[in-house]
Structure 1
Amino acid sequence: MLRIGYVRLRDERSADDTATLKAIGCHVVRAEEPVGPMMDESAVLSSILDFIGEGDQLVVTRLEHLGGASRNVLEVIDRLEERNASVYIVEPEISSQGEGGRALRAALQAVLAVEPPGGVRRRRGQSATDEIRALQAAGVGPVEIARRLGVSRMTVWRKLREVETRATA
């Protein structure tokens, strides 16, 4: 059985996830930065799902690494099952195999039933402003900041203008 680790680099904690996956015995660990505003498009995860073989296991530290919505997570589990592979989530410790797998699928389907179509957009508030300022201070341009944080360029420009206005006041 091949254990393939996967992590989406969303925050500082995600960098530690790579080491965790290696420590628990993953033969291969793949990481990527999420792309796009919904952060559900994943070339690396898709290639893992195309490659993974019968009896292999995809390992993630947190369920959120598989997608931002229940629909995405269920699609990943379905693709794994088609290939007779499984997923193992470290936190909380659960696998798509056996009773835990049935419970995981039931919980995701229940959430999907009440989830609005297209997922949920969360307001990021002050944390987004802090992230934008930190990236700008590191020399990252507004367009790249928007891409990394999954927000519009206009949001980045507004937040930068707010910071500038506060600094001159």
Structure 2
Amino acid sequence: MVRIGYVRLRDEASAEDSATLKGVGCHVVRAEEPAGPSDPGSSVLTAILDFIGDGDQLVVTRLEHLAHSTRTVLEVLDRLEEKGASLYVVEPEITTKGESGKALRAVLQAVAAVERPLPMRRRRSAPPAHEIRALQQAGHGPVEIARRLGVSRMTVWRKLKAAEA
């Protein structure tokens, strides 16, 4: 059995979570930046769910660290069940193995039935290329431009590359 730890990086507690997961016997601990509430898909968690095998265990420190909504937690549980794997939550100590797993699923399904769907997050429109170019010509680097305009560095790089072409 392989125990795979999963941490969503969110604050200073993330390092503590990683240490806790190593302490409970995780062979591997993977971490990622959290996606927005309207984007339940996460590349690291998806990769773990693709990789995990029969008898393996996904381990998180707290259930709310797994996903943003109860529906998404249930989707993760479904994928784990399809693979013959299980979930182990450190605090409070919960596992999806056995009868307690059935009870956990029943509770999550009940909560999901009354949970309001998360609002869809509107995508920001990228700033015009001329704004990015102007900041670059003023001597600002891509990281500073991204911070000032409230976009990702990748957006800045794409716009700069497109302007050069």
Q: Same fold (TM over 0.5)?
A: yes
Following the alignment from structure 2 to structure 1, what is the Cα–Cα distance between the partners of residues 151 and 41? 17
How much is the aligned-residue C-alpha RMSD, in angstroms? 2.1
- Conservation of the 8 A alpha-carbon contact between 1:7 and 1:65: yes
Following the alignment from structure 1 to structure 2, what is the Cα–Cα distance between the partners of residues 41 and 88? 20
CA distances 1:87-123 after superposition (whole Å, capped 9, x unpaired) = 00001100011121111101111111111123699xx
Closer, same or farther: CA 119–103 of 1 in aligned 2, 3 Å: farther
Q: Secondary structure at the match of 1:30?
A: strand
Q: Where does the alignment leave 5 or more consecutive residues of structure 1 unmatched?
A: 122-138, 146-169
**1:128 corresponds to:** none
Q: Which has the larger radius of gyration?
A: 2
Q: How high is the TM-score relative to the length of structure 2?
A: 0.71
Length, aligned pairs only: 128
Extract structure 1 runs of 4+ deviating beyond 4 A. Answer: none
**2:31 corresponds to:** 31
Q: Where does the alignment leave 5 or more consecutive residues of structure 2 unmatched?
A: 122-143, 153-165
Matched, 1:106 2:106: yes
**What is the correspondence of 1:12-161 to structure 2 with a 5 Å cutoff?**
12-38=12-38, 40-118=40-118, 141=147, 143=150
Q: Secondary structure at the match of 1:91?
A: coil
Deviation at 1:144, TM superposition (A): 5.4
Q: How high is the TM-score relative to the length of structure 1?
A: 0.69
- Conservation of the 8 A alpha-carbon contact between 1:69 and 1:119: no
**% identical aligned pairs:** 66
Deviation at 1:23, TM superposition (A): 1.1
Q: Secondary structure at the match of 1:6?
A: strand
Higher helix content, 1 or 2? 1
